Structure 1
Amino acid sequence: MSKKKFEVLEHETINDCLKRMEAEGYTPVKRMEVPIFSEQMINGKIEIEPSGRKIVFEGKINK
């Protein structure tokens, strides 16, 4: 496995995540922001609205 995804957890900063990647022997090669959606009741209709985002880094293993 030469690539692995690392999600920035709720209790950590981006820098903490990058340090965690380095500790596991990975170098970041790609940053992705994934939208988070939630269902909201608006005027009696359920609508899907964006409610946040999560940041995910793709890391490549150091050789």
Structure 2
Amino acid sequence: MSKKKNFRVEENETIDDCLERMKREGYMPVRRIEKPLFEERKENGETIHIPIDREIVFEGKIMT
């Protein structure tokens, strides 16, 4: 088992579900990373980026 592993909050999964999955696999969260997800649209000849969602990833460290 590696000492660090990233856990992505999957679609139709709550943050608590993801944290419970980490615990079952023997990891504890040490960092939370949020990345915005954008949709690209063209309006009036310009490309604009509209935020549509976010991706949440937890970095887990193995529990000893």
TM-score bracket for this pair, using the shorter chain length = 0.7 to 0.9
Q: Deviations over 1:12-37 (max 9, x none)?
A: 10000000000111000111111112
SS where residue 13 of structure 2 aligns?
A: coil
Residue 39 of structure 1: how far off its partner (Å): 0.8
The normalised TM-score by structure 1 is 0.87
User: Which aligned pairs between 1:1-12 and structure 2 lie closer than 5 A?
Assistant: 1-12=2-13
For structure 1, which runs of at least 5 residues remain unmatched after alignment? none
Stretch moving more, 39-48 or 52-61: 39-48
Percent identity for Structure 1 against Structure 2: 54
Q: Does 1:48 align with 2:49?
A: yes
The separation in 2 between residues aligned to 1:6 and 1:14, in whole angstroms, is 10
The separation in 1 between residues aligned to 2:63 and 2:22, in whole angstroms, is 10
How many residues in Structure 1 have an aligned counterpart in Structure 2? 63
The normalised TM-score by structure 2 is 0.86
The separation in 1 between residues aligned to 2:35 and 2:48, in whole angstroms, is 19
User: Which aligned pairs between 1:10-21 and structure 2 lie closer than 5 A?
Assistant: 10-21=11-22
The separation in 2 between residues aligned to 1:10 and 1:19, in whole angstroms, is 15
For structure 2, which runs of at least 5 residues remain unmatched after alignment? none
